[in-house]
A = this chain, B = another copy of it.
Amino acid sequence: MARTEDPAGRERILSAATDLFYVNGVRAVGMAEVIAAAGCGKHMLYRHFPSKAALAAAYLRRVRAERDKSTTRALAAAAGASKTTSAGDAARGIGTTRAGEQLVALVAEVAAWVQRRDYRGCAFRNYLTEFPAGDDEPAAVARDYLRDTRRQVDELVATLGKPGVTGDRIWLLIDALYGGTGTPPQVAVDWAKELVT
């Protein structure tokens, strides 16, 4: 091999694709646009990502990793100085008051997320809207994310002693935040606080 195999090549490509896909939508962005933004050749792109679907899947996985990290951090902070790393572990073995605080923290984390500059909706919901009949790899990544986060809420609510409708209501608030059309996100956070007390 001659050069160093591409040190940050894949990262540059995926980073550029992430920005473009999220801001403009996956369908609206062509591979040529990604190549131009990444400053590489077609060779490099198709070496790392053999198709547009593979690139889109990597984009969604990247967003998911970012979301999971932020969520896990928020849950851990709400659980106190616990050294738990996975959300599932955090949900189990913590007192019910902790579970309530964690649910509020979960809603607050989403509220903070949707207030980011250039927030343009949930990347996973957006993808499923763009490809409603899609059964390809990125669609699976998107659906897995929604299923897993929904399960995360359910587990926390199960730890809490509240009636079963609380989980649905928390998830209602999260859905509202992700698809929000102007309502101040703090309203959802305050409402979640009332819900768990």
Contacts and interface: CB of A to CB of B under 8 A. Distances in A.
Contact of A173 (B129, B150, B176): B176
Contact of A132 (B23, B146, B169, B180): B23
Interface of A: 23-25, 27-28, 120-121, 125-126, 129-133, 146, 150, 165, 168-169, 171-173, 175-176, 178-184, 187-188, 190-191
B183 A171 contact: yes
A130 B176 CA distance: 19
Contact of A179 (B133, B179, B190, B191): B179
Nearest to A120: B132
Contacts of A146: 181-182
Given A24-B132, A25-B130, A27-B130, A175 B169 contact: no
Contact of A181 (B121, B125, B182): B125
A38 to B, nearest CB: 21
A178 B176 CA distance: 9
Contact of A187 (B130, B165, B183): B165
Contact of A191 (B172, B178, B182, B183): B172
Given A165-B187, A187-B168, A187-B169, A132 B25 contact: yes
Contacts of A25: 129-132
A150 B181 CA distance: 9
A123 to B, nearest CB: 11
Contacts of A187: 165, 168-169, 172
Contacts of A176: 172-173, 175-176, 179
B175 A180 contact: yes
Contacts of A130: 25, 27, 129-130
A23 B132 CA distance: 8
A139 to B, nearest CB: 13
Contacts of A24: 132-133
